[in-house]
Structure 1
Amino acid sequence: MTIPALLLDRADRRGDHTALRVGDVRVTYRELADRAAAMAASLARRGVRRGDPVAAMTTNRIELIDLILGCAWLGAVAVPLNTAFRGDALSHVLAASGARRLLVEPEYVARVEGAGFRGERWIVGSGSAPQPDSAPVPPEAVISALDPAAVLFTSGTTGLPKGVLCPHAQFLWWGRGVGASLDLDADDVLYNGLPLFHTNAINAFFQAVVAGGTFVLGQHFSVHEYWRRVADVDATVVYLLGAMVAMLAGRPPTTADRAHRATRALSPATPERLWRPFRDRFGIELIDGFGTTETNLVLGTLPGDRRAGYLGTIMPGYAALVVDPAGHPVPDGTPGELLVRTGLDGAFALGYLGDAPHAPGAWLATGDRVIREHDGWFRFVDRIKDVIRRRGENISSAEVEDVLAQHPGVAQVAVFPVPSALAEDEVMAAVVVRPGHHVDPAELRRFAEPHLAYFALPRYIDVVDALPLTETGKVRKAELRERGVGAHTWDADAVGTAPGR
């Protein structure tokens, strides 16, 4: 259950098969193991030793995969950084990582210097950067499944990012669990354009390697070009997050919608209303599940046993509970926080940088509100931090978003709390309109009235050109909350339409 052992096994079993494609570069499994061994030698020649953290701030490039695998081969720890980090957040992650060596693209050099990094900089494309061009070396003999392979920093949409210490085995468990859920085999081509500093993309790579298939590393998501890219790389499996499904579904139909070979997508927390229309239009089955940077695929589904709008059931080797704020289990059908744990060695992260290690087998609070149905199926409700408190009631922002998004003129929507003069919160929605449509806020609210309790109806509605997104497609709700009510925000109270007053 280590990355070097996995690479050597695949080199032996699948040596001539294409393992990786990045742009015009194609790498077989035999070459992938050789590159990891050669990169490890290059790193060692530059003074990197077992356990050393090596940071990277690059876009999706072959050099970043080489670094991750070279570190794993050597027993060092790769620390890929979010390329959006800057200022205090960048200073924080660089210091917290403990890295004294950094692989960096030229466009980010000034930023890391401004953030106070004073270690050794390896600039991509320069002679200073390590390359897999040294004589290969055997993998570090003492690497274990529980040794750290990477530190992945959480996105930090609220507060400073936290470094998650991921062991070798965690990536292999991801490959096994998601591989079973997606029904992956050696003929599959997995296309993922999410950034490699994110758990989704790096784990998709290992899903491909565990299956013996091909991983294609894409670039940033483009709603206009997405299906053309999927077709160009001959992908059979794709990966979608956050607003991506809604953005694709909101585009006018084109001939590219079905001009590809992909049949399934890993798409966590997809609204039920989009599942069937997306399959019918694009020929893609959206496959849900629950896992985080700290965990693994705890809740999931298997082929032939899926339900639209559900995360799935508890996967073998894991356990899950739904609890109230005091930590007591709640009855089936009642929303509560999801707690998870595992009995599989190395399937969860070791802990956070700077904190005490996670105790093996301990319950981990996820910060997600879910419902467990009586038959053991789990349904996502909301992130706990996104719950809105109004007039003594808890309101799920996801539920309100799902209702508003059913309006034919709405392409995307985000619902979030803003301060109320009466204490607690008011409900606010930011709406992106579909091309060729018009959305009147008063009419949108009337559209929602039959489907929402009066206290959940948005008081404020902003029609915006675009929602602020992270690099992984999540809406930056903290930014929307900070922006708040503006001069052009529609206010239901101002026009006398708010019921229950």
Structure 2
Amino acid sequence: MPLRFISAAPVDATSYRDIEKRYGCRIVTMYGMTEAFPIAVKGVADEGVPGTSGRPNPNFEVRIVDADGDPVPAGTVGEIACRPRYPYVMSEGYVGGGLRVERHPEWFRTRDLGTLDDDRQLTYVDRVKDSLRRRGENVSSVEVETVVMRHPAVLEAAAIRVPSELGEDDILLIVTLRPGAALACPELLDFCAARMPYFCVPRFVETVDELPKN
């Protein structure tokens, strides 16, 4: 039986097109978690932008909020928040000591950063705890890693925050290379500078044999 569909988390636009071309199938992307799933879906009939999670599931209200929980304008990065429109479409809370249920607040804060555009397309940006603040700009570690892994010599990449002597954060990029590959630091930084905003370009680069995983 031929492969018709792949269901997955969102991938970048380049990978999206490459996968569909290589396997001759369509990709259904979605966003969600154990507590609420799916919060947003990009179905095969949806011509939304590749790399997005699609539009909110009709079972949920979804909005993007700032640190105080207030909604932000369309296209602005903030925390993804949701609440159910109907009973029993998401978990009611967490089981605490003595099997007591600690119920979610009215709006469930996912601790994920994202955007909603004017067409209500949801785009995941990063985990709140993994987002960096550099030179007055918010930087997504996921976006940095995605660009770096397009380099043909790079196998894996991790962008992490390190303290800056100027305040806020600097970016340490840790990479593993493909077998037999060699890559000089200046070459990789030039590659980054040509493909991302200046404030996203890592300040430090470290090459390791293997990235730690849990």
2:175 is aligned with 1:420: no
In structure 2, list runs of 5 or more residues that go unmatched: none
Q: TM-score, normalised by structure 2?
A: 0.88
Query: What stretches of structure 1 move > 4 A for 4+ residues in a row?
Result: none
- The structure 1 residue matched to 2:207, chosen from 428, 442, 463, is 463
User: What is the alpha-carbon distance in structure 1 between the residues aligned to residue 23 and residue 207 of structure 2?
Assistant: 28
In the alignment, what sits opposite 2:107?
Answer: 363
User: What is the alpha-carbon distance in structure 1 between the residues aligned to residue 180 and residue 19 of structure 2?
Assistant: 20
User: What is the alpha-carbon distance in structure 2 between the residues aligned to residue 411 and residue 359 of structure 1?
Assistant: 39
User: What is the alpha-carbon distance in structure 1 between the residues aligned to residue 213 and residue 144 of structure 2?
Assistant: 19
In the alignment, what sits opposite 2:85?
Answer: 343
User: What is the alpha-carbon distance in structure 1 between the residues aligned to residue 137 and residue 14 of structure 2?
Assistant: 25
In the alignment, what sits opposite 2:153?
Answer: 409
In the alignment, what sits opposite 1:294?
Answer: 35
User: What is the alpha-carbon distance in structure 2 between the residues aligned to residue 338 and residue 356 of structure 1?
Assistant: 23
Cα drift, residue 359 of structure 1: 5.4
- Name which of structure 1's ranges 315-324 and 434-443 shifts more when overlaid on structure 2: 434-443
User: What is the alpha-carbon distance in structure 1 between the residues aligned to residue 152 and residue 94 of structure 2?
Assistant: 43
2:164 is aligned with 1:432: no
1:174-230: CA deviation from partner (whole Å, max 9, x where unpaired): xxxxxxxxxxxxxxxxxxxxxxxxxxxxxxxxxxxxxxxxxxxxxxxxxxxxxxxxx
Checking the alignment, whether the CA contact within 8 Å between 1:265 and 1:287 is kept in structure 2 is yes
1:26-75: CA deviation from partner (whole Å, max 9, x where unpaired): xxxxxxxxxxxxxxxxxxxxxxxxxxxxxxxxxxxxxxxxxxxxxxxxxx
Give the total of aligned pairs: 210
User: What is the alpha-carbon distance in structure 2 between the residues aligned to residue 409 and residue 319 of structure 1?
Assistant: 43
- The structure 1 residue matched to 2:14, chosen from 263, 269, 273, is 273
1:431-470: CA deviation from partner (whole Å, max 9, x where unpaired): 1223343222210110111222322211111222332233
User: What is the alpha-carbon distance in structure 2 between the residues aligned to residue 359 and residue 420 of structure 1?
Assistant: 36
User: What is the alpha-carbon distance in structure 2 between the residues aligned to residue 264 and residue 438 of structure 1?
Assistant: 37
Q: How does 1:47-196 map to 2 (within 5 A)?
A: none
User: What is the alpha-carbon distance in structure 2 between the residues aligned to residue 460 and residue 359 of structure 1?
Assistant: 40
Q: Which has the higher helix share?
A: 1
Indicate how the Cα distance of structure 1 residues 285 and 458 shifts in structure 2: closer, same or farther if over 3 A, else same: same
User: What is the alpha-carbon distance in structure 2 between the residues aligned to residue 358 and residue 398 of structure 1?
Assistant: 31
Indicate how the Cα distance of structure 1 residues 436 and 344 shifts in structure 2: closer, same or farther if over 3 A, else same: farther
Cα drift, residue 279 of structure 1: 2.1
User: What is the alpha-carbon distance in structure 1 between the residues aligned to residue 25 and residue 122 of structure 2?
Assistant: 22
- Which one-letter code corresponds to 2:147 in the other structure? V
- The structure 1 residue matched to 2:61, chosen from 310, 315, 319, is 319
- The structure 1 residue matched to 2:191, chosen from 447, 450, 461, is 447
Cα drift, residue 295 of structure 1: 0.8
Which structure would you say has the larger Rg? 1
- The structure 1 residue matched to 2:94, chosen from 352, 376, 385, is 352
- The structure 2 residue matched to 1:375, chosen from 95, 119, 135, is 119
Q: How does 1:225-264 map to 2 (within 5 A)?
A: 261-264=2-5
Checking the alignment, whether the CA contact within 8 Å between 1:415 and 1:428 is kept in structure 2 is yes
Cα drift, residue 312 of structure 1: 0.6
User: What is the alpha-carbon distance in structure 1 between the residues aligned to residue 78 and residue 118 of structure 2?
Assistant: 14
Checking the alignment, whether the CA contact within 8 Å between 1:275 and 1:285 is kept in structure 2 is no
Indicate how the Cα distance of structure 1 residues 340 and 305 shifts in structure 2: closer, same or farther if over 3 A, else same: same
User: What is the alpha-carbon distance in structure 1 between the residues aligned to residue 26 and residue 174 of structure 2?
Assistant: 28
SS, match of residue 288 in structure 1: strand
User: What is the alpha-carbon distance in structure 2 between the residues aligned to residue 465 and residue 270 of structure 1?
Assistant: 26
- Which one-letter code corresponds to 1:287 in the other structure? V
User: What is the alpha-carbon distance in structure 2 between the residues aligned to residue 433 and residue 359 of structure 1?
Assistant: 43
RMSD of aligned residue pairs (Cα, Å):
2.0
Q: Which has the higher strand share?
A: 2
Checking the alignment, whether the CA contact within 8 Å between 1:270 and 1:286 is kept in structure 2 is no
